[in-house]
Amino acid sequence: MNQFEFEQFLKFAEEEALSTKSDSEKIQDFILWCKKNNFEEIILRLSSEEKGGWSKNFCLDFTTTRIIVSKKRFLKKFVDLGYVAGLAPIPYMILSKKIKRSYVKKQYNDPPEDIIKRDRSNHYIPYSDIQQFIIRKGIETTVTNMVGTMIMKNFLTIKTVNKTYDFTLPVNKNGKFEQIHFWLSIVLPVNVTKLE
């Protein structure tokens, strides 16, 4: 989404009095606006990775129409800080109290089609193909320092007609389990099953 397109959304937001709505309603309205105007926009990104498995390190981009599974580039594994609470830059700006309209240029995302084409192993899962979507809280691990016990990772399973996808979600890059579940429930047009 470029700056002009974002300006169009802001006009819509003013007309619909979006500032009086809850954060979840604002994001849902943004998703509906994107669909109505044929924009595919990234709403949420989660980082999936496993230690010692370079081939199992992915970015999961939840757009307005699908989930894009893209292999992380070598350096991204080390410097990928993720998004704020998993939200992509534009949805995050929509929730911000002070929207700087010129900031859209600085927060530009790769278009979804470019992400898919970047690597031949990148692919997508249309929401219409999802039969079951399960997020499971990780098992608490004992740590031998003053922190005590902590959860190091959570798990995501997506079942489609033809395939089951399993992803490991490190807590340090994706945030708290409750936050992830909340935003997935808002963004996805499918039921999100939570297992604790």
Flag whether pLDDT at 114 surpasses 90: no
| pLDDT recorded at residue 106 | 46
Distance CA 159, CA 67 (A): 13
| pLDDT recorded at residue 84 | 47
pLDDT digits (tens, 9 = 90+) for 18-71: 889 999 999 999 999 999 999 999 999 898 887 655 667 888 999 999 999 988
pLDDT digits (tens, 9 = 90+) for 152-164: 789 999 999 999 9
3-class DSSP string for the chain: CCHHHHHHHHHHHHHCCHHHCCHHHHHHHHHHHHHHCCCCCEEEEEEECCCCCHHHCEEEEEECCEEEEEECCCCHHHHCCCCHHHECHHHHHHHCCCCCCCHHHHCCCCCHHHHHHHCCCCEEEEHHHEEEEEEECCCCEECCCCCCEECCEEEEEEEECCCEEEEEEEHHHHCCHHHHHHHHHHHCCCCEEEEC
Residue 49 · residue 57 · CB < 8 Å: yes
Top pLDDT among 169 and 172 is at: 169
Residue 186 · residue 32 · CB < 8 Å: no
Residue 57 · residue 71 · CB < 8 Å: yes
pLDDT digits (tens, 9 = 90+) for 93-102: 888 766 555 5
pLDDT digits (tens, 9 = 90+) for 127-153: 999 999 999 998 655 455 555 556 678
| 169 closest CA partner among 153, 185, 151 | 153
| pLDDT recorded at residue 38 | 93
Top pLDDT among 4 and 81 is at: 4
What are the residues facing 141 on neighbouring strands?
A: 150
Least-confidence region, from 109-123, 158-172, 173-187: 109-123
For residue 1, what pLDDT band results from cuts at 50, 70 and 90?
confident
